[in-house]
């Protein structure tokens, strides 16, 4: 057979498949992918440099805006880095509240990925179901923090808002309902012969390659690497409650989906235990004071839905850090695509590239117009509407 000519298929930087700008240059021989070059930089905003011009109280707000989906993971790692440098211990109640918010975020993020993965496969029923059941999780976050996203919950030394006793019963109710729906979705996906055939053996990342690329999160755990910062490097309340780390060995897209789905149950288990513990702790003790700005270095890490988020801070005793380093999990995970996608067909490339759950860092402000171009709501109106909705849910102003 004559040798096939090599051709390049560009995916991106702007492509309907991706919500985020990134350029994947696929080299193909016929239908087979034989090479991948990834080019970054389209979303670079210089957060590390921005943080060096902000005070320690302001930095959590800045890093929260790195990503619209894991918007509590960056502040989680950030406040831990600052606390590590300043030597602060946070009150137990704050640790439980941090854990609850972190796990709610994991729930909504995993459901979001499951939906997107279904959409990429042309299986829009999965997409619509997953996103439908994600909605009550976002409402729980709104009830606790006042926001569906960008929660502004964390501060060095603790959290900004308490979870009051009255909130716990409705939270447990929503959690029970969410558990049932996620169980149904999980069973539907894990039992679906079409999805098995479509995803098993596709985009395999072997354990050796996972080690070489130092991948993190569900991408690593689906390839047999038991790495999870929540277990490994104890912080917040993860060490005080019971939960399992989900590790599979296949390394394919199906294993990655399975890890995420099964982790959802661990998340609800963690949240339930934390809510139970809150009842025994004195209300209002959610903040330890940071007396002096840190003079030295600190490292904070947190297991975001996509893997380890790493923040490093170096202070000199002034109000501003002299160096702030941020590493999001996708920085390690996306590069592993260059081996996972090799040998695949072009049709499998899209879901393989999406299987590491690359982080979409887009958040937009909105304006609502009617069809004649008349502005219906101003920004202030939208804020007011949002606050009224949260108040109706019983979560305060």
Chain positions contacting other proteins, by CB under 8 A: 40-41, 44, 46, 48-49, 84, 183, 186-187, 190, 207, 211-216, 224-227, 229, 231-234, 244-248, 258, 262, 265-266, 299, 301, 308, 310, 312, 314, 323, 325, 327, 331-332, 335-336, 338
Give the residue from 346, 389, 357, 246 showing the smallest Cα distance to 29: 346
CB of 72 to other proteins, least distance (A): 20
The structure tokens listed for 362 are: 């887009």
Tell me whether residue 137 or residue 185 sits nearer to other proteins (CB atom).
Answer: 185
CB of 370 to other proteins, least distance (A): 40
CB of 310 to other proteins, least distance (A): 5
Tell me whether residue 81 or residue 116 sits nearer to other proteins (CB atom).
Answer: 81
Give the residue from 148, 101, 105, 98 showing the smallest Cα distance to 287: 98
Relative orientation angle of helices 92-120 and 346-354, to the nearest 10 degrees = 170
Tell me whether residue 150 or residue 209 sits nearer to other proteins (CB atom).
Answer: 209
Give the residue from 311, 290, 303 showing the smallest Cα distance to 156: 290
CB of 262 to other proteins, least distance (A): 6
Tell me whether residue 135 or residue 244 sits nearer to other proteins (CB atom).
Answer: 244
Tell me whether residue 185 or residue 202 sits nearer to other proteins (CB atom).
Answer: 185
Tell me whether residue 130 or residue 144 sits nearer to other proteins (CB atom).
Answer: 130
CB of 313 to other proteins, least distance (A): 10
Tell me whether residue 145 or residue 227 sits nearer to other proteins (CB atom).
Answer: 227
Tell me whether residue 20 or residue 48 sits nearer to other proteins (CB atom).
Answer: 48
Strands 23-29 and 295-304: unpaired
Tell me whether residue 110 or residue 258 sits nearer to other proteins (CB atom).
Answer: 258
Give the residue from 238, 203, 196 showing the smallest Cα distance to 222: 203
The structure tokens listed for 118 are: 């279904």
Alpha carbon 321 to its chain centroid, in Å, reads 25
CB of 367 to other proteins, least distance (A): 30
Tell me whether residue 149 or residue 214 sits nearer to other proteins (CB atom).
Answer: 214
DSSP code of residue 12: -
CB of 40 to other proteins, least distance (A): 6
- First vs last Cα of the chain: how many Å apart? 71
CB of 146 to other proteins, least distance (A): 32
Unique residue bearing structure tokens 């700008």: 21
Contact yes or no for 182/266 (Cβ under 8 A): no
Give the residue from 70, 241, 238, 273 showing the smallest Cα distance to 168: 273
CB of 79 to other proteins, least distance (A): 16
Sign of the dihedral through C-alpha 14, 17, 21, 25: negative
With the CA atoms of 179, 185, 187 and 193 taken in that order, what torsion angle do they form, in degrees rounded to the nearest 10? -170
Contact yes or no for 304/207 (Cβ under 8 A): no
* Separation in Å, CA 212 to CA 218, 240, 298, 349, 353: 16, 32, 26, 21, 18
CB of 245 to other proteins, least distance (A): 5
What is the rounded distance in angstroms from the CA atom of residue 225 to the CA atom of residue 46?
32
What is the rounded distance in angstroms from the CA atom of residue 51 to the CA atom of residue 124?
40
């Amino acid at each position: 057979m004559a040798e096939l000519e090599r051709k390049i298929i560009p995916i991106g930087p702007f492509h309907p498949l991706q919500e985020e700008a990134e350029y994947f240059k696929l080299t193909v021989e016929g239908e087979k992918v034989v090479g991948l070059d990834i080019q970054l930089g389209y979303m670079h905003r210089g957060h590390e440099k921005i943080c060096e011009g902000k005070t320690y109280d302001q930095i959590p707000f800045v890093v929260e805006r790195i990503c619209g989906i894991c918007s509590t993971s960056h502040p989680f790692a950030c406040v831990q880095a600052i606390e590590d440098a300043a030597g602060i211990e946070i009150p137990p109640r704050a640790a439980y509240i941090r854990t609850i918010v972190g796990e709610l975020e994991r729930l909504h993020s995993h459901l979001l990925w499951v939906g997107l993965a279904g959409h990429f496969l042309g299986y829009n029923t999965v997409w619509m179901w997953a996103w439908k059941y994600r909605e009550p999780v976002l409402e729980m976050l709104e009830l606790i923090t006042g926001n569906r996203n960008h929660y502004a919950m964390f501060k060095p030394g603790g959290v900004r808002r308490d979870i009051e006793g009255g909130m716990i019963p409705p939270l447990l109710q929503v959690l029970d309902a969410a558990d049932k729906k996620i169980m149904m979705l999980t069973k539907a996906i894990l039992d679906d012969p079409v999805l098995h055939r479509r995803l098993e053996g596709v985009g395999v990342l072997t354990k050796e390659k996972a080690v070489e690329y130092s991948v993190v999160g569900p991408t690593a755990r689906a390839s047999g690497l038991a790495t999870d910062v929540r277990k490994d490097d104890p912080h917040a309340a993860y060490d005080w409650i019971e939960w399992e780390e989900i590790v599979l060995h296949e390394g394919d897209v199906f294993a990655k989906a399975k890890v995420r789905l099964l982790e959802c149950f661990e998340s609800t288990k963690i949240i339930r235990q934390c809510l139970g513990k809150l009842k025994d702790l004195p209300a209002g003790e959610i903040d330890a004071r940071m007396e002096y700005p840190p003079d030295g270095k600190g490292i904070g890490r947190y297991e975001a839905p996509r893997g380890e988020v790493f923040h490093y801070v170096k202070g000199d005793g002034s109000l501003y850090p002299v160096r702030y380093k941020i590493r999001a999990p996708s920085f390690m995970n996306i590069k592993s695509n260059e081996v996972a996608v090799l040998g695949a067909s072009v049709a499998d490339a899209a879901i393989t590239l999406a299987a590491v759950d690359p982080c979409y860092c887009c958040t937009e402000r909105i304006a609502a117009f009617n069809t004649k171009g008349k502005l219906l709501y101003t920004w202030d109106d939208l804020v007011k509407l949002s606050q009224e909705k949260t108040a109706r849910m019983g979560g305060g102003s």
